[in-house]
Amino acid sequence: MSILTFRNVSLRYPPRAGRGGAAEKLVLDGINLQVASDELVAIIGRSGSGKTSLLNLAAGFLEPTSGSITVDGVPIKGPNADRAVVFQDDALYPWLDARDNIALPFKLKGVPLAERREKAQQLLERVGLADAGDRRIWELSGGMRQRVGIARALAAEPRFLLLDEPLGALDALTRTRMQAFLLRIKAESGAGALLITHSIEEALLLGTRVVVLSPNPGRLTAEIEAGFNAEVLNGTPVATVKASPLFKRMHAGLNGLIQSTTDEELAA
């Protein structure tokens, strides 16, 4: 079991150039959060509340201004294969086919050609794209591209998946299918997951826990245990889960928490 821990983390961005000496911006303040391997922690919050900044800290793309971020007690020092990031726009290489996109992390590790193609094929099969390996990225649908992106993230056998709106660009039907897919893949991989999303519905459906980030500065202001993901993993259709009275009540509750952000917080 691995644990990703934020301890009293704050983040300030330097003043932007050309703003007449505008002050530094405190974006995240006193963040305490733990994500364990058996969890998917969903972070929701208004636009600009600092969700992506928080994920970038976990990825090691940014350093906290104060506080610490550790994996199993060891401070993170920059990006590392133990924390794989999946973005909204799949960030795949269009000049490579699906298989070679997935094989790239193995190539970077020096794995011989035949072996890395074999491993990539196994990952293609895991994400339901066994026959799509030879296709170029632009020949794939949005949902297929995200599957390739997720397969590439899994190639490094990460301890944590950092998911930044991974389904945000998909149409509603594909998104629903991919939600169940993402849960299955996460469970099979044994990795913990941190999911950033604008969608209360998606956070409730996928999250073991849902955490609310309030803006200006970004602070974790509420946390609820969800648990609907177990129902989806047990085969209950996503539409049935969403239609349950408990799901609707919790959705309304979270909506209220996010909407209660004051005008001052939004304007700050």
- Which stretches of the chain bind ligand ATP, using CB under 6 A? 13, 16, 25, 27, 45, 47-53, 198
For residues 47 and 234, which CB has a smaller minimum distance to ligand ATP in the complex?
47
**The residue to which tokens 């609707």 are assigned:** 248
Least Cβ distance, residue 233 to ligand ATP (angstroms): 27
- The DSSP-derived string for 27-76 is EEEEEEEEEETT-EEEEE--TTSSHHHHHHHHHTSS--SEEEEEETTEEP
Q: What share of the chain is helix, strand, coil (3-state, %, to 5)?
A: 40, 25, 35
Query: What residues contact residue 99 under an 8 Å CB cut-off, 6+ apart?
Result: 117, 120, 121, 124, 133, 134
For residues 53 and 179, which CB has a smaller minimum distance to ligand ATP in the complex?
53
Burial category of 172 from C-beta neighbours within 10 Å (exposed 0-12, middle 13-18, buried 19 and up) = exposed
For residues 66 and 141, which CB has a smaller minimum distance to ligand ATP in the complex?
66
Least Cβ distance, residue 21 to ligand ATP (angstroms): 15
For residues 27 and 250, which CB has a smaller minimum distance to ligand ATP in the complex?
27
Least Cβ distance, residue 164 to ligand ATP (angstroms): 8
Least Cβ distance, residue 263 to ligand ATP (angstroms): 16
